[in-house]
Amino acid sequence: MAHDLKPGPASGDSRRDFLKVSALAGLGLAWDPRSASAPPTTTIVEATPSAIPILAPMERVRIGYVGVGGQGTTHVQNLLNIEGAEIVAVCDIVEDKVRRAQDLVEKKGFKRPIGYSRGPHDFERLCQQADIDLVYTATPWEWHVPVLLAAMNAGKHALTEVPMAVTMEECWQLLETAEKTGRLCLMMENCVYDRPEMLCLQMVRKGLFGEIQHGECGYLHDLRGIKFADEGEGLWRRAHAVRRNGNLYPTHGLGPIAQCMDINRGDRFDYLVSMSTNARGLRLYAAEHFPADHPKRKEFFALGDVNTTLIRTMKGKTITLGHNCDNPRPYSRVNLVQGTKGLFSGYPNRIHIEGRSPEGQWEPIEKYFPEFEHPLWKSEAIRNETNGHGGMDFLEDLRLVQALRAGRATDYSIYDGLAWSAISPLTELSVANRSRPVNIPDFTRGRWEVTPAL
């Protein structure tokens, strides 16, 4: 039977209604995907404060960093080279990693930051440190939301590596806490700052591709060795493949496409359908690399090797989103943007514009850099940066600190992080229910219709 939910006046009702529908769907019952939408936006916009705070300029941005493994250390190193940023505390469950980060800060001429390493919840003590303005985390995925909540509830602004959350309940918790506390809460998506993606965005803004109709994106990357490693992500990432089946890592590919499509800024995601192949790759890899009696040979995985998701926006644009991390696969984010006058296609990077490109032929993107290079990539400092994915990590950290010091809006908001991250649990819901359509909630509660383009 279909389930029609009555709209309620506040954010809590929106969250509970959506979770109620999700639970019914998980039991295998039929449902109208539209019934999972947020209540009428006009009422909610009036009743609920925006989750995007207006911040006064900061002379210094004092940061407590939680999780200083590989990616966390990259961000620490970036921040040490950005004017106005100061690392005043570091936290990790591994004491040696805390000391390494403290040494990096001290060697740059700053005061040695306070270290926290008394166990997995010691970030809660860090969040109480008085001289911290911002808590930034690069922990395993399941710890992102606990750190963000602790930071906001302690009066700090909060940032996380991707994804922002892994369940719908977590998404609503973050939004409601940001609204209640008035603190900044962001997901730091580095791929929206990569040079080809920013070239594409610049060309979209200048109308070279016409009206944008369709995008293709994904995260296609052989992670079998990383998932089975006895260190780093191997200690936790494989566990998600054991129990979850959907697109577990959507934001790297989806973020740049969403910006080109003005998602949450004139359009928004409406609904999705998703399906997965059989799970084969991780079991085959374990059989080839571990002896018969090894515990890793006994593991079974829910995650299908290849997940394919289709997303439709409120204004009729479509997106094909892929995920494949368990087969032999050279790295790709796909990154295709199709308009009525041409398209940008990544991996390999190439462009075709009707009336400008040779008929029926691709052109290399290098031809377009002199005329359409995004202004942020005209900086020699950015183009020569080698720490952290060739400059895009540094650029995302730089833009964040500059925005906070100037008191201006950041390049993306909590609504973006939630919309991009929520795709993951929603794909799990669709896959579990024979690829039925699943509504994507409007975290902005109608503000997408009046928010200007990036």
- Report the alpha-carbon angle 68-420-50, nearest 5: 95
CA distance 139 to 159: 11
Q: What are the pLDDT digits (tens) for 312-331?
A: 999 999 999 999 999 999 99
The length of the chain, given as a count of residues: 454
Crossing angle of helices 168-181 and 414-432, in 10° steps, is 160
Specify the pTM: 0.90
Q: What are phi and psi of 64, to 5 degrees?
A: -105, 125
Q: Of the candidates 79, 80, 76, 109, which has an alpha carbon nearest to the alpha carbon of residue 92? A: 76
C-alpha distances in Å from residue 294, one per residue of 60, 245, 290, 370 = 51, 24, 6, 55
pLDDT below 70 — which residues of the chain? 1-48
Percentage above 90 pLDDT, the chain:
86
CA distance 421 to 68: 22
At residue 39, the pLDDT reads: 30
Strand order in the sheet with 336-339: 363-364, 350-353, 342-345, 336-339, 212-220, 318-324, 306-313, 269-276, 438-439
**With b meaning 16 or more CB within 10 Å and e meaning fewer, what string describes 406-431?**
eeeebbbbbbbbbbbbbbbbbbbbbb
DSSP string computed for 377-442: GG-HHHHT--TTGGGHHHHHHHHHHHHHHHT---SS-HHHHHHHHHHHHHHHHHHHTTT--EEPP-
At residue 140, the pLDDT reads: 98
The burial of 36, by beta-carbon neighbours within 10 Å (0-12 exposed, 13-18 middle, 19 or more buried), is given as buried
At residue 48, the pLDDT reads: 52
Helix/strand/coil (H/E/C) assignment for every residue in 270-309: EEEEEEECCCCHHHHHHHHHCCCCCHHHHCCCCCCCEEEE
At residue 2, the pLDDT reads: 32
Q: What are the pLDDT digits (tens) for 253-272?
A: 999 999 999 999 999 999 99
CA distance 295 to 63: 40
At residue 35, the pLDDT reads: 36
309 Cβ neighbours under 8 A, 6+ residues apart: 246, 247, 250, 272, 273, 274, 320, 321, 322, 323, 423, 427, 430
Helix (H) or strand (E) holding 107: helix 95-107
C-alpha distances in Å from residue 454, one per residue of 46, 141, 313, 402 = 24, 27, 17, 17
In this structure, what token pair is assigned to residue 106? 């001290």
